[in-house]
Amino acid sequence: MITTTTRQHTLRAHLPGRPSSRSAGSIEHQAMLAARLTLRDKWLLALLHEHRVLTSHQIQNAAFPSGRATRQRLRELYLWRAISRFQPFRQLGSAPMHYVLGPAGAAVLAAEHGLEVRDLGYRHDRAMAIAHNQRLAHTIGVNDFFTSLIAHARHTHTTETALAWWSEARCARHFGDLVIPDSYGRWRTCTHHGVGPVTEVEWFLEYDTGTESLAKVGRKLAGYSRLAESTGIATPVLVWLPTTRREAGARTALARIHAGLDNRHLVPVATAAASLLNPASTLPSPADAVWLPLTAGRSDRAGPRYRLAELTRAWPGLTPPAEPGDEDLAEPREAAAATPFRLPAPLPMPPAATPNHLTRHEA
C-alpha cells in the first residue's frame, strides 16, 4: 500500500538544482559551468546557436555514442540552463524533445568570443519562439539532413566527412540580396584511408517538405544563376524531396526553368527523394546513392543515381572547390565580406568525448 503521498505543489516545483533565469547569468553560475562544460558541450552550444533547434535524436547523431549518453548529458545541460527544451504536440504518439540554446549557454558563447550576450543577437524568448514557428518542421528537416551526414561519417568509419554546414540565416547574410538557400554544405572524400586523392563537393540545399509550390522551388534557380554569374563560380543546387512522386513533379518544373537560364552550366542541379533511402540500413543518409542530376534541362528519371561523393562525376566541367585555410574551413567560396558580428560556424565533426577516468598509461 502507499503510505506516503506527494503534495501537488511539490510536483509543480522547479527541478532540483536548476537555477532561475536571473541566476543563470550570474558570475557564480558561470564559474560553475567553467568547471563542468566539456569541449563537446561548447561545440553543441555553438551548433544550437547556428541552427536554432535540434532534436534529441539529431544531437545523438551529431555528437554522442548512444541514446542513454545523450539523455544524461542533455539533462545536465538543461538543469544548468545551458540549453532549453520543448516538446511539440503530435496528434498520434509523442514528438522527441527539441532543444534550443539556453541563457547560460548564450553567456558562455559570448564570453568565449569576448562579447556581450546582446552582441550574439540572442534572446531566450526568441530562441523558444521556434516552438510555435510555422517553419519548425522545415528547420528540423534541414537539420536532419546534415546530422544524418555527420552520423554517416562518424559511425561507418569511411573516409568521407562533412566540412561545412551553414544555416539559412548565415546564407541570408551572405547571399540574401540574390537568393536564400536553405543551407550550404561541403563534403570531402578520401580514398585508401586518406592516402589517395581527395575529392570535395559543395552545394546549396533546397529542402522541400511537400507543401511549397514546385514552381516556386524552380524559380529560385534564377537567383542561383545570378549568384553564379556575379561570382564566376558554379555551385551545385541539391533539391531534397519527400517522395519520388514529388521528385518527378519537381524535376519537370526545374527542367523547364533550368532550360531558360542564360548560363545553365553555372547552375548544376540534382534531386533526390527521402523515400529512396533504404529502411533496412542502420544509418540511411543523403550520402547514399539517391542523387539524380538534371541533365541539359531534361526532366526524365533515366540514368544512374549517384552517391553524394560521386556527384562531381556527373558534372565533369565543374571546378573543384578551392582548398580552404584553417581560418575559413567552414566558409563557402562565394562568401562576402564579414558582417560586423559573425559567430564562427562550428565544424560539423564534434570533439571527442572527455574520458571519465585516466587510462592506466596516463595514470
> pLDDT: is 17 or 52 the higher one?
52
Residue 362: its pLDDT value, please? 40
Residue 17: its pLDDT value, please? 64
Mean pLDDT across the chain? 84
Residue 156: its pLDDT value, please? 74
Confidence of residue 15 (pLDDT cuts 50, 70, 90): low
Q: Is 157 left (phi over 0), alpha (psi -120 to 50) or beta?
A: left
21: pLDDT strictly greater than 90: no
Residue 12: its pLDDT value, please? 52
Residue 311: its pLDDT value, please? 93
Complete domains list, the chain, with CATH: 17-133 (1.10.10.10), 134-331 (no CATH)
Share of the chain above pLDDT 90, in %: 60
198: pLDDT strictly greater than 90: no
Q: Give the burial class of 148: count Cβ atoms within 10 A of its Cβ; 0-12 exposed, 13-18 middle, 19 or more buried.
A: buried
Other beta carbons within 10 Å of 324: 16
Cα–Cα distances in angstroms (integers) from residue 158 to residues 161, 189, 207, 236, in the given order: 8, 9, 26, 24
Residue 298: its pLDDT value, please? 56
Longest dimension (CA), the chain: 80
226: pLDDT strictly greater than 90: yes
Average pLDDT over residues 71-97: 95
pLDDT, tens digit, 9 for 90 and up, residues 135-172: 999 999 999 999 999 999 888 766 888 889 999 999 99
Pairing of the two strands 54-55 and 183-190: unpaired
289: pLDDT strictly greater than 90: yes
What is the pTM for the complete model shown? 0.86
Residue 89: its pLDDT value, please? 93
Task: Tell me the C-alpha distance between 115 and 109, whole Å.
Answer: 8
